[in-house]
Chain A
Amino acid sequence: MTSDSCGPSSRLYLAAPDQLGLLSSGCGATCLPPGRCTAGPTLLGAAPSGLPNPLTSCRLHQHRPPSSRPLLWARAPSALDMRAGASVSGTGSAGERGSPGLTGAACGHRGGDWRRERVRRWERVRSRAALPRHGPPVGPGSPARARPPRAAPQRAAVVRTGLGEAGTRGPWTRAAGGPMRGPHRGPGPLQLLAPLRLLAPFRSCPLEALRISGPGLALGSGVPMQDSGFSVLSYVAGIAWFLALVFPPLTQRTYMSENAMGSTMVEEQFAGGDRARAFARDFAAHRKKSGALPVAWLERTMRSVGLEVYTQSFSRKLPFPDETHERYVLGEWGVPGPRKHLEGGMVSGTNVYGILRAPRAASTESLVLTVPCGSDSTNSQAVGLLLALAAHFRGQIYWAKDIIFLVTEHDLLGTEAWLEAYHDVNVTGMQSSPLQGRAGAIQAAVALELSSDVVTSLDVAVEGLNGQLPNLDLLNLFQTFCQKGGLLCTLQGKLQPQDWTSLDGPLQGLQTLLLMVLRQASGRPHGSHGLFLRYRVEALTLRGINSFRQYKYDLVAVGKALEGMFRKLNHLLERLHQSFFLYLLPGLSRFVSIGLYMPAVGFLLLVLGLKALELWMQLHEAGMGLEEPGGAPGPSVPLPPSQGVGLASLVAPLLISQAMGLALYVLPVLGQHVATQHFPVAEAEAVVLTLLAIYAAGLALPHNTHRVVSTQAPDRGWMALKLVALIYLALQLGCIALTNFSLGFLLATSMVPAAALAKPHGPRTLYAALLVLTSPAAMLLGSLFLWRELQEAPLSLAEGWQLFLAALAQGVLEHHTYGALLFPLLSLGLYPCWLLFWNVLFWK
């Protein structure tokens, strides 16, 4: 057959240009048997019906002249396709060279064989993808799906160059594309295309033929993007990658990068154990007597050991008082927290700090040793050790940096107050007296928490506010002195696995890693060091653990480790910057750098990207379907603008869900007084319960939005909404993962599958259950259980619920007191996004 049988009007009109890259694999092949060219509607119905959903977007529009649809691009079967078809079927006619329109030529050239083969391939794809179809209704006269024989050769599926009608082949083509040896058999190598495209201006080809060649390259021929198996694979790959992080190729040994601390050795001379214990006893006695931090005693003692002593008083009005409801205020995830000095939510206290001035230095740099003292916490040994260390340090002449010995009241509140006053900023609305003495830029800080005269091990905490971490070199330094002093050091309360080659070490490391991820994801400062990190002061917290082990270390051993650390920090010429700031720790001596752990979250986010892409294609197809609905030949129905419906229907759900998020963020704290007046609850309870109530109220959102949304195009509506939600979620998770990998990864792990699956068809209850289970709040609950499970202190359900309520209150409180970002992030970002998916699920 020649082109004349189809004529110019039989061009294939395909998807929008931006889609061509994805569609080319399918679209290039949708060619009609020449005999059917005029049969139009019936055949048009037939072709998509046999195709999997994503592919059907390459619709055939036969009855439009090309000029009327500038948006739609023609896609010609490639020369190689044709060659393949010709060589396989042998039914090709001789008409292609002389064909005026290339598609006509293709149509004429290819027989039904070729088409059947394509259709068969799509069949395969579709059966694998098992995707629901949301295509336009199939025309009434559509025949049954063509099922070509399985014996059809496969080559056509592979060969896809997308450029060039037969007439463009010539000697120069071969010259440009070197690898193409046999023009008849050669599979279309992709490298051919670049030169061909550049050559395009030389040729007098139809414009469409050139334009389609570009996008055809975009994704190459590979796995069909529509395959949801690919999403599953990507998700599994993400999880597997994360689990693989603990195995030695991915986890590396830590090493000291900072040369000022690496090669120099110091000799620790601290021997003030008795003095430390005496100071501790005195401190405890004075504190018991006064009931608060014994400021005067501390001042006197610090002055007597030769420090320059200053005090700072501060007060802070908490967003809601929590004294009477201590169960909602927890210290370390379940350990009841410190009782604060509260009068109507007002906390006030005094910090005491002494500065050791370095001799013959200009007070430009300093180091900090801090001991947070809650009124309940038994940290007096730490104060004793701090004072003894100060007395020892004072007698040395090698200091090049000032050392600040800081004792803060009310744990982290005091630390925050001191740091804000030191840097003369007001981040959290703290009222405090200005500092009288300063010592330049703080280079590093160590927080110390000891609760007994002897310790069995030292635990180190690195996770700071909003998941910030100190430079890895500081941890290396600690580890160096642990090894040197023979101290038993733990991370996340876990002993260090020795053998990383067998399976046991990595499995133990995985526990530690998961604990670190959970801690980092919580975004709370785990120790007062966490607040220093905001000011770019590298800091960590050392906790003395006294357990039932046999061998115990006294304060001298801890003091020597601290002395060594300070002396090495004293050697620093620059701020700690050499080593990693972004890392995960499966053990004290092992780390995973950012370059190695980011792919895990990348794989997870790829799922969202794939789903969004798929939806985009479906959406476009739906748009096409609207324009040319069903079997009516010709545009008899007035067409709505192709984009208008989708966008208008999105505004309402977006706005409403964002408003819900805003309410979740603002109302609990704002409305606590109203709640306490009308209900028999206290403020802290009111906040938590309001939080839960608003959260749950969001689930009723779909019923509200549906009244607003026009139901003009139901399918398009939810698809567009889901598309927006997917992109929104992917963006949020991407940003979070960049700043706080752990949080991003946890959220992605939980939210991605449900988000990808949510749709208003299919097993809705199942989807709904899945979605509820992976909502941010449920994830928090789950994390709590996982956390305690990993700590080998499993929770009962009731305990877990109590802990959950406490964590909610704590999250709100920490946002207001320290500026932790988890609460606003969840309430303003992820919760509305999650509501969008909920909305999608119940779309009518």
Chain B
Amino acid sequence: MAAAIPLSLLVLLLLGPGGWCLAEHPRDSLREELVITPLPSGDVAATFQFRTRWDSELQREGGLSVLLKADRLFHTSYHSQAVHIRPVCRNARCTSISWELRQTLSVVFDAFITGQGKKDWSLFRMFSRTLTEPCPLASESRVYVDITNYNQDNETLEVHPSPTTTYQDVILGTRKTYAIYDLLDSAMINNSRNLNIQLKWKRPPENEAPPVPFLHAQRYVSGYGLQKGELSTLLYNTHPYRAFPVLLLDTVPWYLRLYVHTLTITSKGKENKPSYIHYQPAQDRLQPHLLEMLIQLPANSVTKVSIQFERALLKWTEYTPDPNHGFYVSPSVLSALVPSMVAAKPVDWEESPLFNSLFPVSDGSNYFVRLYTEPLLVNLPTPDFSMPYNVICLTCTVVAVCYGSFYNLLTRTFHIEEPRTGGLAKRLANLIRRARGVPLL
């Protein structure tokens, strides 16, 4: 819990000592679970979730939190932490409430680094820890392992120790099977004083590209040079026969001046007309472009959404301290109701495992997905920032030179001398004087 405690402390400080000192310490308020899911790419995702009433003790020892060891958790491809706090009713009539704290930690272990090139994994290999005892405070402490491909006849993978119970659910439109290890079940740990769940692939699924989800997307900047470019987003619908609409939301910084007339959407070589477009142009230094479109993705297709832009010149104080790094363009956001393979039934939130709350289901036939594409890095025309120095030097020199001569001229008084004054005598005299080298008259 090393990583999560500072966060929860912070939240405590923010909320103040309002609700949590009133209540007693119901023992059943802490639920903890760990969901381990092998990913298509071969990596392993582990999601911890601790749900507790606010008024329970934060400090826990034992249980799943022994696995949370920072040096292993940061040795991963991805991790995300979240804290949710919400009021929950204490009784049916909701006469009093208590605060529910939910902490989640999702980690994706790189199978290559942890598994030495194999897809097999075990708790010890991932966390360098094993589970030894349940949390004494927990009312529920479970480990779920995704063993969807596993059954006794199929020889693809093997879980050790073999699960006593399994749980089936529809997650993201597909039916999943989970093996459940309940730490509160005394037989589970007492056998060997520790629990090291292992999964072995008997026939490793090599040589085949990992299965892809129904909806995924990719975004990139195309073109070269510092004047123009194109933002392209590729939307993949890999569903074999269902088309579905996608809401695409793009916010593009103002310094990429979008040419909306160049917006093209093509799928399967044909133009795809979006059924809804909302465009709010950018204002320089005030607001970014906002482009929102509802696009129908045909079944089994790639849709390319592209729009050209021109790179603006910024004022030289507007550049970041590392202007040659480039400027980030935020990801597109895709929201879609993706058709399910399997109809899901409504879930009873209290009874089902905690991770179900991560996958909200709107109705049985499809599920909601929000995807964020990768952010982009765009290089703007960047001046050489040593130039101001040169300009200052040059300007100073020019000003000094000009000033000197102008000042010289302006502060003198000039007299106009008529050239033809004096008669012949004077001219003669001057001639003689000139011959003698004496100043003229």
What is the interface of chain A, defined by CB distance below 8 A to chain B?
83, 86, 90, 92-95, 97-98, 165, 167-172, 175-176, 182-185, 194-195, 198-199, 202-204, 300, 303-306, 308, 357, 359-360, 362-365, 394-395, 397, 423-425, 438, 440-441, 534-536, 573-575, 577
A577 to B440, CA, bound (A): 67
A168 to B416, CA, bound (A): 9
Which listed residue, B41, B222, B325, B416, touches A424 by the CB 8 Å rule?
A: B222
Task: Name the residue on A nearest B230 (C-beta).
Answer: A424
Q: Which residues of B contact A83 (CB under 8 A)?
A: 434
Known pairs A97-B427, A363-B374, A364-B377 / 13 extra A-B pairs, C-beta < 8 Å? A92-B431, A165-B419, A170-B417, A183-B440, A194-B405, A203-B416, A204-B416, A300-B206, A308-B41, A364-B375, A441-B379, A536-B225, A573-B322
- In the complex, what's the smallest C-beta–C-beta distance from A677 to chain B, in angstroms? 38
Q: Is the CB of B430 within 8 A of A94?
A: yes
- In the complex, what's the smallest C-beta–C-beta distance from A286 to chain B, in angstroms? 15
Given A94-B428, A98-B420, A170-B417, A184–B437 Cβ distance below 8 Å? yes
The 6 closest A-B pairs by CB, nearest first: A424-B222, A167-B419, A94-B431, A574-B324, A306-B112, A170-B417
CB-based A-B contact count at 8 angstroms: 126
Q: Is the CB of B415 within 8 A of A168?
A: no
Task: Name the residue on B nearest A436 (C-beta).
Answer: B218
A565 to B422, CA, bound (A): 88
Q: Which residues of A contact B224 (CB under 8 A)?
A: 423, 425, 534-536
A83 to B222, CA, bound (A): 74
Q: Which residues of B contact A308 (CB under 8 A)?
A: 41
- In the complex, what's the smallest C-beta–C-beta distance from B378 to chain A, in angstroms? 8
Q: Is the CB of B79 within 8 A of A360?
A: yes
Q: Is the CB of A573 within 8 A of B325?
A: yes
For the complex, is B117 an interface residue (Cβ under 8 Å from A)?
A: yes
Given A86-B434, A170-B417, A363-B374, A195–B409 Cβ distance below 8 Å? yes
A-B contact pairs, 26 of them (CB 8 A): A94-B431, A97-B419, A168-B419, A171-B415, A172-B414, A172-B417, A176-B412, A182-B437, A184-B437, A185-B437, A195-B408, A198-B409, A204-B418, A204-B419, A303-B206, A304-B117, A306-B112, A308-B41, A359-B77, A362-B374, A397-B113, A424-B222, A424-B232, A438-B218, A441-B326, A536-B224
Cβ < 8 Å to A, chain B residues 401-429: 405, 408-409, 412, 414-420, 422, 424, 427-428
What is the interface of chain B, defined by CB distance below 8 A to chain A?
41, 75-79, 110, 112-113, 117, 206-207, 218, 220-226, 230, 232, 322-326, 328, 374-379, 382, 405, 408-409, 412, 414-420, 422, 424, 427-428, 430-431, 434-435, 437, 439-440
A423 to B231, CA, bound (A): 11
A423 to B228, CA, bound (A): 12
Q: Which residues of A contact B328 (CB under 8 A)?
A: 364
Q: Is the CB of B416 within 8 A of A202?
A: yes
Task: Name the residue on B nearest A86 (C-beta).
Answer: B434
Q: Which residues of A contact B206 (CB under 8 A)?
A: 300, 303-304
- In the complex, what's the smallest C-beta–C-beta distance from A706 to chain B, in angstroms? 45
Task: Name the residue on B nearest A199 (C-beta).
Answer: B414
Q: Which residues of A contact B414 (CB under 8 A)?
A: 172, 176, 199, 202
A695 to B230, CA, bound (A): 42
A182 to B422, CA, bound (A): 23
Task: Name the residue on A nearest B437 (C-beta).
Answer: A184
Q: Which residues of A contact B412 (CB under 8 A)?
A: 175-176
A423 to B439, CA, bound (A): 81
Q: Which residues of A contact B220 (CB under 8 A)?
A: 424, 438, 440
Q: Is the CB of A360 within 8 A of B374?
A: no
Q: Is the CB of B78 within 8 A of A360?
A: yes
- In the complex, what's the smallest C-beta–C-beta distance from A199 to chain B, in angstroms? 6
Task: Name the residue on B nearest A419 (C-beta).
Answer: B224
A395 to B437, CA, bound (A): 96
Given A94-B427, A364-B377, A424-B223, A575–B326 Cβ distance below 8 Å? yes
A577 to B110, CA, bound (A): 34
A198 to B34, CA, bound (A): 90
Q: Is the CB of A425 within 8 A of B326?
A: no
Q: Is the CB of B110 within 8 A of A359?
A: yes
A183 to B430, CA, bound (A): 13
- In the complex, what's the smallest C-beta–C-beta distance from A205 to chain B, in angstroms? 8
A300 to B324, CA, bound (A): 37
Q: Which residues of B contact A440 (CB under 8 A)?
A: 220, 374, 376-377
Which listed residue, A185, A362, A395, touches B113 by the CB 8 Å rule?
A: A395
Q: Which residues of A contact B41 (CB under 8 A)?
A: 308
Q: Which residues of B contact A577 (CB under 8 A)?
A: 324, 382
Given A395-B112, A438-B218, A183–B374 Cβ distance below 8 Å? no
Which listed residue, B112, B207, B326, B435, touches A300 by the CB 8 Å rule?
A: B207
Q: Which residues of B contact A93 (CB under 8 A)?
A: 431
A90 to B427, CA, bound (A): 16
- In the complex, what's the smallest C-beta–C-beta distance from A692 to chain B, in angstroms? 35
A167 to B379, CA, bound (A): 66
A202 to B412, CA, bound (A): 13
- In the complex, what's the smallest C-beta–C-beta distance from A166 to chain B, in angstroms? 9
A522 to B274, CA, bound (A): 50
Q: Which residues of B contact A573 (CB under 8 A)?
A: 322, 325
Q: Which residues of A contact B113 (CB under 8 A)?
A: 394-395, 397
- In the complex, what's the smallest C-beta–C-beta distance from A668 to chain B, in angstroms? 29
Given A168-B419, A171-B415, A364-B376, A303–B434 Cβ distance below 8 Å? no
A264 to B221, CA, bound (A): 31
Q: Is the CB of B77 within 8 A of A357?
A: yes
Task: Name the residue on B nearest A93 (C-beta).
Answer: B431
Which listed residue, B207, B222, B376, touches A423 by the CB 8 Å rule?
A: B222
A680 to B79, CA, bound (A): 70
Task: Name the residue on B nearest A175 (C-beta).
Answer: B412
A534 to B226, CA, bound (A): 12
Given A167-B420, A577-B324, A360–B377 Cβ distance below 8 Å? no
Q: Is the CB of A359 within 8 A of B78?
A: yes
Q: Which residues of A contact B434 (CB under 8 A)?
A: 83, 86, 184
A438 to B284, CA, bound (A): 31
- In the complex, what's the smallest C-beta–C-beta distance from A436 to chain B, in angstroms? 8
Q: Which residues of A contact B232 (CB under 8 A)?
A: 424
Q: Which residues of A contact B439 (CB under 8 A)?
A: 183
- In the complex, what's the smallest C-beta–C-beta distance from A434 to chain B, in angstroms? 8
A172 to B328, CA, bound (A): 66
- In the complex, what's the smallest C-beta–C-beta distance from B420 to chain A, in angstroms? 6
Which listed residue, A92, A441, A534, touches B377 by the CB 8 Å rule?
A: A441
Q: Which residues of B contact A303 (CB under 8 A)?
A: 206-207
Q: Is the CB of A575 within 8 A of B379?
A: yes
Q: Which residues of B contact A90 (CB under 8 A)?
A: 435
Q: Which of A97, A172, A202 has the most CB of B within 10 A?
A: A97
Q: Is the CB of B431 within 8 A of A575?
A: no
- In the complex, what's the smallest C-beta–C-beta distance from B306 to chain A, in angstroms? 8
Task: Name the residue on B nearest A359 (C-beta).
Answer: B77
- In the complex, what's the smallest C-beta–C-beta distance from A634 to chain B, in angstroms? 34
Task: Name the residue on B nearest A260 (C-beta).
Answer: B322
Q: Which residues of B contact A575 (CB under 8 A)?
A: 324-326, 379
A424 to B228, CA, bound (A): 13
Which listed residue, A199, A202, A357, A397, touches B75 by the CB 8 Å rule?
A: A397
Q: Which residues of A contact B375 (CB under 8 A)?
A: 362, 364
Which listed residue, A92, A97, A397, A574, touches B322 by the CB 8 Å rule?
A: A574
Task: Name the residue on A nearest B416 (C-beta).
Answer: A202
Q: Which residues of A contact B430 (CB under 8 A)?
A: 94, 97
Q: Which residues of A contact B207 (CB under 8 A)?
A: 300, 303
A357 to B324, CA, bound (A): 22
Q: Which residues of B contact A423 (CB under 8 A)?
A: 222-224
Task: Name the residue on B nearest A536 (C-beta).
Answer: B224
A303 to B379, CA, bound (A): 32
Q: Which of B232, B382, B435 has the most CB of A within 10 A?
A: B435
A381 to B69, CA, bound (A): 42
A95 to B220, CA, bound (A): 86
Task: Name the residue on A nearest B77 (C-beta).
Answer: A359
Which listed residue, B325, B326, B376, B417, touches A171 by the CB 8 Å rule?
A: B417
Task: Name the residue on A nearest B432 (C-beta).
Answer: A94
